[in-house]
Structure 1
Amino acid sequence: MPVVFQSKVTPLIFSSNKAAVTLEGGNEEVVKYLYVYEFGEGHMGYVSRPFIDKIAITLAITDSCQQETIRDCLMDTANEHIEGIENASTHSGYKLEINFTPANSKDSVLIQVDPKKGKHGNHFIRLEMNPNKLGSTGLESFKAAIQHITAGALEWPMFVSSGNASRLEVAVDMYNVPTDELIWDSVVTGKSHIYLSKTGSVETVYAGLPKPTKASEQYYYNKWVESQEKGTKPNFGGVHTRVEMIKKGSTQKLNKICKIDNLMSRLLIVHPSGPPDSIDPLTWELFLDSCRLRGIPNALERLPASVAGHCKDTLNARAKLTWRPDKIWMHWPNAVKQSGLLKNGPPSLNPQHIV
């Protein structure tokens, strides 16, 4: 059975799509949103614009002298115990890994150099970062510093013009939306994994796994619960669902990511309302639980045809309100622009201003 949402929302709509949301306990928190929909008895769900939650960028370096310079400089930098720079160990396929944390940011950039396998020069250096957490000043600081910590062998414009986005994670937040109340369907075929809490509430849905041993590239989860379990401060203090899509591939140019196909269309997400007139509330709740377990099409197949049609029409009406992938993806080019990744960066800083 779905959870009962406890905190009622009093939306105060401002210009530029902001709302003051009343949390449980009476506190208010302002959220930015792209569109809003109503559910339950006077509750409002706020859906954000898309943003880059994580990106990995690889750069081909085929000149052996340049490779040696980069490798030696980064190794020396990591061993000099400079504040903000430290050795990392992610057990990945690179021989050298360091974390670079700008002084004005709480997040870091993972720098990986010298792959252990494959064509050595094609992805000689790999960067992994969350530009949203780094912030604009943190990202600009890293851009300015990369030239100094590699003795001029690397500059940020090289990544902009020639780098590949080997992994891209795009997220959308659904503020004030209980994860356990949502139902779903995956456009991508494959197996699905559903994680439940100790009380049986849905906390995470991984949909369309390509293989049993491969991770899903489309999923949604209870962001508030994740923050509590990790001991991190959530970016929203109330009920909060996050939807994430992953795109992998070593040939996607960084400067072309604004043109990728709509990732948000991989999932259909529905926040259901009350039952059709022909179905009693208990049967409706059992059907919705079947949707959460099996996905919408498989749950509909288990119903008599006369009932399935009414259920499908009701869900289709709610789907148009809940999850609007085309509307969301219209804002993707601007999300790329606002990330700051495609800016060439500020003038180089002096070495003492690296961190």
Structure 2
Amino acid sequence: MKIIFNVVTSSNKKLGIPKTRIAYKVESKKGVYVLHPIIDNISITAKIEDLKIAQNVAYWVGKANQEGGLPLYSLKELGKYKNKETGRYKASAILRVDKEAGALIQIGLPGYPCAIRLEFNPAHFSQGAIDKMDLYLKELSKNTFGLGWFVKVGTITRVDIAVDILGVEFNDLVVQLREDRKVKLYVDKEGGLQTVTSLLDKGFKNMAYDKRAEIQEKGKYSEFEDYPRCRVEWRIGKTKKKLVSLGDIKCPWGSASIIFPPSQPPTGVQDHVWSLFLDACRFRGRDHALSQLPLPLREKFKNAVDDPNNQIWRAKELWSKLPESLKLSVMSKYY
């Protein structure tokens, strides 16, 4: 497999990333790469036509005590998905595949047809784990359905798309996710920007954040170790699309902007003035920051921050990479 990106971490370990994972290199910014979009979480809903199968699945999902030989656990037992126990579903359980990988199964009141929902994060699954989940689903349904059935028959009720940016500190970026939404900002102990969250309807949210900091705080393993890594997560709500047609959805990133401005100020501008201006861009927004400047400086600062070489988020190009990314995922054999 061809490696086109090598970095050296603080522990002097050289890391390489396969070419197939890289969406593009930001030519104007040394060492900055944007990876292919991936599915970070997905919810698929399908209909069970056979009433007896629906009743059997509802029974075992409702018991969630492993008596049937399947690793099904109640939500309360695992302390997860507390907000998912709603009246919309007769039964809910976690299908625990291994230490890292699991899926939420929810089934409606048995009728004709009966709705069943599967929610999981493909990024947590190895190929072996995804194949094991397929076998568990077939066992649960007496070989009526597996993962391939969900993919081909079910429709997407929610999906989170994630894009990683490597080689730049999150606090050095100026991020705008949606112009028409409220935004929440989170800072670290040193006052550096760590998360930008755009609040959507029904509790949904889009996020951009310091992925490396999150991993370090949780004490988890990272394939990129301590190398700078930022992540953008975008949530798409209920659609009538099947997973294989996800790329047909209109690009949702039209108003998003991620700028990596130069640390050096324009000619004639003092370092501390430029630094304060960039902080104002990050915390109050670019337009507001520019509006606070005296007219003689406004045009100079606008030209410096709006230089096309500073824009590292190429929405249409990234979205066009999604079908290719799906083909490379652990789920590709089930399409």
TM-score w.r.t. length of structure 1? 0.80
Please give the secondary structure, in 1, of the residue aligned with 2:48.
coil
1:304 aligns with 2:294: yes
Letter in 1 for 2:257: L
Measure the CA separation in 1 of the matches of 2:25 and 2:3.
9
Q: Partner amino acid for 2:97? A: P
Separation (CA, whole Å) in 2 of partners of 1:310 and 1:16: 43
Residues of 2 paired with 1:319 and 1:299: CA distance?
20
What does 1:241-256 align with in structure 2 at a 5 Å threshold? Answer: 241-256=230-245
Cα offsets for 1:217-254 (capped at 9, x unmatched): x2211111111222321232122111111101153333
What amino acid maps onto 1:28 in structure 2?
K
Superposition deviation, residue 16 in structure 1: 4.4
Picking from 109, 114, 125, the partner of 2:108 is: 114
- Tell me, which stretches of 5 or more residues in structure 2 are unaligned? none
Match of 1:100 among 67, 76, 95: 95
CA change 1:294–1:328 in 2 (3 A) is same
Contact 1:185–1:268 under 8 Å retained in 2: yes
SS in 1 for 2:32: strand
Equivalent position of 2:163 in the other structure: 172
Aligned partner (choices 110, 113, 117) of residue 126 of structure 1: 117
Partner letter of residue 259 of structure 1? D
In structure 1, the partner of 2:67 is: 80
Contact 1:70–1:153 (CA under 8 A) maintained in structure 2: no
Asked if structure 1 preserves the Cα contact closer than 8 Å seen for 2:54 and 2:114, the reply is no
Q: Deviations over 1:295-342 (max 9, x none)?
A: 222222222343222222222225555222222222111112222546
Structure 1 residue 294: deviation in Å?
1.3
- Report the equivalent of 1:335: 325
Against the structure 1 CA distance between its residues 100 and 259, is the aligned structure 2 distance closer, same or farther, given a 3 Å change threshold?
A: same
CA 1:266–1:330: 2 relative to 1, 3 Å: same
RMSD across aligned positions (CA):
2.9
Paired with 2:209 and 2:286, the residues of 1 have a C-alpha distance of: 18
Offset of 1:180 from its aligned partner?
0.7
1:24 aligns with 2:10: yes
Residue of structure 2 equivalent to 1:294: 284
Paired with 1:253 and 1:263, the residues of 2 have a C-alpha distance of 17
Distance 1:280 1:123, change over 3 A: farther
C-alpha separation between the residues in 2 aligned to 1:248 and 1:280? 46
Check the 8 A contact 1:179/1:221 in 2, yes or no.
Answer: yes
Query: Do the aligned partners of residues 77 and 147 (structure 1) sit closer, same or farther apart at CA in structure 2, a change above 3 Å counting?
Result: farther
Deviations 1:196-232 (A, max 9, x none): 011101110013x236x8342x221111111122232
Distance in structure 2 (CA, Å) of the matches to 1:69 and 1:136: 28
Q: Is the 8 A contact 2:260 2:310 kept in 1?
A: no
SS at match of 1:299: helix
Distance 1:18 1:97, change over 3 A: farther
What's the CA shift for 1:63?
Answer: 5.5
- The answer to whether the 8 Å contact 2:204/2:235 transfers is no
Identity percentage of aligned residues: 25
Alignment of structure 1 residues 272-287 onto 2, 5 Å: 272-273=261-262, 274-287=264-277
d(CA) in 1 for partners of 2:252, 2:239: 17
Query: What is the TM-score of this pair, normalised by structure 2?
Result: 0.84
Q: In 2 relative to 1, CA 229–121 (structure 1 residues): closer, same or farther, beyond 3 Å?
A: farther
- Pair 1:231-2:219 in alignment: yes
- Residues 156-180 of structure 1, C-alpha deviation per residue, up to 9 Å, x if partnerless? 3432232111111111111222111
Q: SS in structure 2 opposite 1:34?
A: strand
Secondary structure of the 2:304 match is helix
Q: Do 2:64 and 2:74's aligned partners in 1 also have CA atoms closer than 8 Å?
A: no
User: Matched residue of 1:227: which SS?
Assistant: helix
Tell me the SS of whatever aligns to 1:193. strand
In structure 2, the residue matched to 1:150 is 141
Distance in 2, Cα, partners of 1:34 & 1:250? 25
Equivalent runs, 1:61-72 vs 2, <5 Å: 61=48, 64-72=51-59
Change (3 A) 1:161 1:26: closer
- Provide the C-alpha distance between the structure 1 equivalents of 2:111 and 2:260, rounded to a whole number of angstroms: 48
